[in-house]
Amino acid sequence: MTLHSFYIFDRHCRCVYSREYTQGSDGGSTNRSNESDTAKLMFGMLYSLKNIASKLGDKEARNNLKSLSTGKFRLHLFETATGLRFVIVSDPAIDNLQSVLWELYSNYYVRNVAQNALSPVDFACDELLANPKFVSETDRFLSSLPVFR
Amino acid sequence: MKVYSCLILNKAGGLIYQNNVNPGLNSLSSNDFLVLAGTLHGVHAIASKIKPIPSQAKDDIGVTNTHNTNTNLIATGKSQNANSNQSGLQTIETDFFNLYIFQTLTGLKFVIVTSPNPVVHNLQPMNDFKSISRGELQKQYDSTVKLFRQLYLLFSDFVMKDPFYSLDMPVKSSLFDMRVKELLV
Amino acid sequence: MSKTTRYSGDEMWKNNVEKIQNSELFTLTYGSVVSQLCRDFNNNYQEVNQQLDRMGYNIGMRLIEEFLAKTGAQRCQTFKETAEMISKVGFKIFLNIQPTVTNWTQDGKTFSLVLNENPLADFVELPMGPDNRICRDLWYSQVLCGVLRGALQMVQLDVDVWFVKDVLRGDDQTELRLRLNKFLKDEVPAGED
* CA proximity to B10, closest of B158, B153, B168, B152: B168
Domains of chain A: 3-144 (3.30.450.70)
Give me the CATH number covering residue B40.
Answer: 3.30.450.70
- Residue numbers in C near B78 (CB within 8 A): 10-12
Q: Where are the domains of chain C?
A: 23-185
Q: What is the mean pLDDT of chain A?
A: 88
Helix (H) or strand (E) holding C30: helix C24-40
3-state class percentages of chain A: helix first, strand second, coil last, to nearest 5: 35, 20, 45
How many CB atoms sit inside 10 A of residue B63's CB? 12
> pLDDT digit string (tens) for B113-133?
999 887 766 544 566 666 677
Q: What is d(CA B94, CA A25) in angstroms, rounded to the nearest whole number?
A: 36
Q: What is d(CA C101, CA B13) in angstroms, rounded to the nearest whole number?
A: 37
Asked if the C-beta of A71 comes within 8 angstroms of chain B's C-beta atoms, the answer is yes
Q: Is B30 a member of any domain?
A: yes
Q: Residue B58: is it exposed, middle or buried by C-beta count within 10 angstroms (0-12/13-18/19+)?
A: exposed
Helix (H) or strand (E) holding C64: helix C45-71
How many CB atoms sit inside 10 A of residue A40's CB? 16
Q: What percent of chain C has pLDDT over 90?
A: 71
How many CB atoms sit inside 10 A of residue C164's CB? 15
Question: Closest approach of chain C CAs to the CA of B158, in angstroms?
Answer: 10
* Subunits with 3+ C-beta pairs closer than 8 A to C: B
Predicted pLDDT of residue B130 = 67
Give the strands of the sheet with C157-165, arranged side by side.
C100-102, C110-115, C174-183, C157-165
Predicted pLDDT of residue B121 = 63
Residue with more model confidence, A39 or A126:
A39
Say yes or no for a CB contact (<8 Å) between B47 and A58.
Answer: no
What is the DSSP track for C82-102? Answer: HHHIIIIIIHHHHHS--PEEE
User: Could you name the CATH architecture of C23-185?
Assistant: 2-Layer Sandwich (3.30)
Chain B interface, best mutation among C94, C185, C192, by max B CB count within 10 A: C192
> pLDDT digit string (tens) for B22-52?
888 888 888 999 999 999 999 999 999 887 7
* CA proximity to A30, closest of A20, A15, A38: A20
Asked if the C-beta of B70 comes within 8 angstroms of chain A's C-beta atoms, the answer is no
Q: What is d(CA C139, CA C136) in angstroms, rounded to the nearest whole number?
A: 9
> pLDDT digit string (tens) for C123-149?
898 887 666 788 888 999 999 999 999
Contact present, C13 and C93 (Cβ < 8 Å): yes
List the single residue in A42, A53, A63 with the smallest CB-CB distance to B52.
A42
* CA proximity to B17, closest of B25, B26, B9: B9
* CA proximity to C178, closest of C186, C192, C167, C151: C151
Q: Is B154 a member of any domain?
A: no
Tell me the residue ranges of DSSP E strands in B10-159. 15-19, 89-94, 98-103, 109-114
> pLDDT digit string (tens) for C73-98?
999 999 999 999 999 999 999 999 99
What is the DSSP track for C156-190? Answer: TEEEEEEEEE-GGGT-SSEEEEEEEEEE-GGGSPT
Asked if the C-beta of B92 comes within 8 angstroms of chain A's C-beta atoms, the answer is yes
Q: Is B61 a member of any domain?
A: no
Q: Does the structure's ipTM exceed the value 0.85?
A: yes
Say yes or no for a CB contact (<8 Å) between B80 and C74.
Answer: yes
- Residue numbers in A near B93 (CB within 8 A): 65-68
Chain C interface, best mutation among B46, B60, B84, B142, by max C CB count within 10 A: B84
Please state at what angle helix A37-56 crosses helix B30-49, rounded to 10 degrees.
150
Contact present, C74 and B105 (Cβ < 8 Å): yes
Predicted pLDDT of residue C129 = 67
Tell me the residue ranges of DSSP E strands in chain A. 3-9, 15-20, 65-70, 74-79, 85-90
Predicted pLDDT of residue C113 = 95
Q: What is d(CA B162, CA B165) in angstroms, rounded to the nearest whole number?
A: 6
Lowest mean pLDDT among B60-74, B78-92, B93-107, C83-97: B60-74
Asked if the C-beta of C191 comes within 8 angstroms of chain B's C-beta atoms, the answer is yes
> pLDDT digit string (tens) for C103-123?
999 999 999 999 999 999 988
State how far Cα C89 lies from the chain centre.
12
List the single residue in C7, C13, C74 with the smallest CB-CB distance to B69.
C74
Q: Is B166 a member of any domain?
A: no
- Residue numbers in B near C89 (CB within 8 A): 73-74
Q: Domain count for chain B, please give it.
A: 1
* CA proximity to B9, closest of B168, B173, B175, B181: B168
Q: What is the pTM of this model?
A: 0.90
List the single residue in C64, C75, C89 with the smallest CB-CB distance to B66.
C75
Say yes or no for a CB contact (<8 Å) between A55 and B97.
Answer: no
A8-16 average pLDDT score? 91
> pLDDT digit string (tens) for C35-68?
999 999 998 999 999 999 999 999 999 999 999 9
- Pairing relation of β-strands A74-79 and A65-70? antiparallel
Chains A and B: how many Cβ contacts under 8 Å?
A: 150
> pLDDT digit string (tens) for B129-167?
666 778 888 889 999 999 999 999 999 999 999 999 999
Question: Closest approach of chain C CAs to the CA of B79, in angstroms?
Answer: 4
Partners of A70 in beta bridges = B89
Lowest mean pLDDT among A72-76, A77-81, C6-10: C6-10
Structural domain boundaries, residue B125: 1-49+78-134
B170 DSSP 8-state letter? P
